[in-house]
Amino acid sequence: MRVLGSGLLAHGQLPERDREIVIDRITARNGARYEWGVHAVHYGPQVGLSAEQLADTTEPRPSAETWSEADLALLAAVDELDATASLDDATWARLRDRYSDPQLVELIVLTGWYRTIGYLCNALDLEPEPWATPWPTG
């Protein structure tokens, strides 16, 4: 597992910030508090995501005031993949404006990979690290 995960994190073709948005959103959607908290404390800020943006990844609908249109399209794609395991034509069109085919494949693999990580964290009932960002309450 570590080989694939480190390959996606360290050697992927998606921009780092976009990759982190995908990870934060899919782990939040799946309630993977352990993984979300680790990313929110370390990786999110490292790529320029604000505390407000990170907290917003845990909301049912991301706020249009918090994200750019491109970010909202990316968040919607993650939500669609999570809900349907597919992307409709309109979503593909929005993504193709910004990403290459290899980046799009990576986006799908990344979403699925971190959904799997979420399953592991939740099924193993991993407690969040004491130093990790706490899950937002709201």
Q: What is the pLDDT along the chain (138 residues), one digit of tens a residue?
A: 554 555 555 568 999 999 999 999 999 999 999 999 999 999 999 999 999 999 999 999 999 999 999 999 999 999 999 999 999 999 999 999 999 999 999 999 999 999 999 999 999 999 999 999 999 975
Domain that holds residue 116: 2-123
In a domain, 75, yes or no: yes
Whether residue 138 lies inside any domain: the answer is: no
Whichever domain contains 18, its CATH number is 1.20.1290.10
Number of domains in the chain: 1
**Which is nearest to 117 in space by CA: 21, 56, 18, 38?**
38
- 134 in a structural domain: no
